[in-house]
Amino acid sequence: MKQKLTIAGFLPLLMLLGACAFFTPEPREHPEGSLPKSFSLYSTEPATPDQWWRNFNDTELNTFVESALKANMDIRQAWAKLKQANASAVKSGADKYPTLSGTGSYTHKRTRPESGGSAYNTETHKLGLTASYELDLWGRINADTMADTLEANATREDMSATAMTVASEVASRWLEIKAQRELEKLVRDQIKTNETYLELIELRFANSLSTALDVYQQREAVASAKAKLPPILRKQQTLQNQLNLLLGKPAGSKLDIARKPLPDMPAPPSAGLPADLLAKRPDVRAAGLRLHEADWSVAAARADRLPSLSLTGNGQFNGTQLATLFDGWMYSLAASITAPIFDGGSRKAEVERTRAAAEEKLYAYRETVLTAVMEVENAMAGEKWQRKYVAALDAELNAARNNFKEALARYVAGLTEYLDVLSALTSVQDLEISLVENKLDLLEYRISLYDALGGDWMRAIPFDSTNNKPKTEKKKQG
């Protein structure tokens, strides 16, 4: 009786020790101190809404992005990975609780004595419960659970990064398709213009006002203009197939894209501060979470080198008949301790491995942060200088048009050769194409800036487990 009381008095102390996590990650220095205080092209404009694609004020683009967020295969794969990570976290956390399992058996035995006599039957009925619990004396189970939970949170951020990439890709493909259609219209107009000039040159040749060389040169210009059209149509079809893939549709599916010019550039967004990227960029958040996960893995590996204590309880009813099952019973309580004595340095090596993995993820996190700052700077610089380049191209195009008008007037007056007119016309047409292409590049730099600044809009999209896809309706945050 005295021994039982001693064990009973010792168990609360063991439970208290089990609630203590002796091994926890040490605080790490955050990289804010190594970041610049502001971006070199810091903007004081109003903050950009998270759903940045709405800044283009085009319902067509909004529809495409929302459709992609529902049906894109990369996003669906990311959701499936998130479900796996969440389930792993729940499974790991289950080790913190006792396990209870039931047992039952029935045995029928018929025996005939060696000395003769009648055979007799023996029946045994058993019904019991078994409970076991490992005391988390050093915080190993808690560390494993925290590591898996942080990995699940990081996987959620990976899903957000995937969704943001898909939104950017959809917007880019949409803009590129509109640009190719604008180029198609421009080239067709140029073909008509060149054919009109060819008719005029042939008429002048018939009236001995121009030479055969002028006719041949203009025919070459017509052929050159027509040769520009097939690559544009090919690229347009390729871009439509890429957009269909982003939307989760087979290539060749019909896309309702209005034949309108490229949209105007939205107002510049507020870049905020470099430190804001730590909270706004999902890839940065994911890298930070995985760094903390690695620290908890180190704590779990250190705790695994120490003894573990487990409690086991068994209760069982038995009887020779089902009616007498609860007449006979037994129970047992046991405590066992397991301590590593010699493992060839396996557990020590695991500690060193997890520490090295944590160091790797530390540098990966810092690189991710520095890369995020660089991407914002590059996008802002690209937009700034591309805007100036587009303005310069526009001025050059106006000058080229004036040059063409003057060359044409001098040719009609017989003051110059047709080659001057053809050169001026070619310059105008090339600049028209270049201007459309560079306006597209300017809009692409803006999309790159939106993508580099990150956002929180994916955090508000809940998971639809029925359809295995995210919902696009935003919900209020509690």
Largest CA distance in the chain: 140
Q: Where are the beta strands (DSSP E) in 283-422?
A: 308-319, 328-338
Bridge partners, 308 (sequence order): 338
Closest CA to 337 of 14, 8, 80, 2: 14
Span 267-272, average pLDDT: 81
Strand 308-319 relative to strand 328-338: parallel, antiparallel, unpaired? antiparallel
Residue 398: is its pLDDT beyond 70? yes
pLDDT band at 33 (very low <50, low <70, confident <90, very high): low
Asked if 77 and 248 count as a contact pair (C-beta separation under 8 A), the reply is no
**Cα separation, 436 vs 176, whole angstroms:** 10
Domains, the chain, ranges and CATH? 22-107+123-470 (1.20.1600.10)
Q: Is 443 exposed, middle or buried (0-12, 13-18, 19+ CB in 10 A)?
A: buried
Quick check: 297 and 146 in contact, CB under 8 A?
A: no
**Mean predicted lDDT score pLDDT of the chain:** 83
pLDDT of residue 95: 81
Confidence band of 461 (pLDDT split at 50, 70, 90): low
**HSE-up of residue 443 (Cα within 13 Å, Cβ side):** 26
| Among the listed residues 274, 299, 300, 279, the one whose alpha carbon sits nearest the alpha carbon of residue 289 | 279
Contacts of 406 (CB under 8 A, 6+ apart): none
User: Residue 72: how many CB atoms within 10 A of its CB?
Assistant: 24
Give the number of other Cβ atoms within 10 Å of residue 168's Cβ. 19
Q: pLDDT tens digits, residue range 40-84?
A: 775 555 555 578 999 999 999 999 999 999 999 988 998 898 899
**Range with the lowest mean pLDDT among 159-163, 213-217, 320-324?**
320-324
CB 104 within 8 A of CB 124: no
Instruction: Write the pLDDT tens digit of every residue in 276-287.
Output: 888 889 999 999
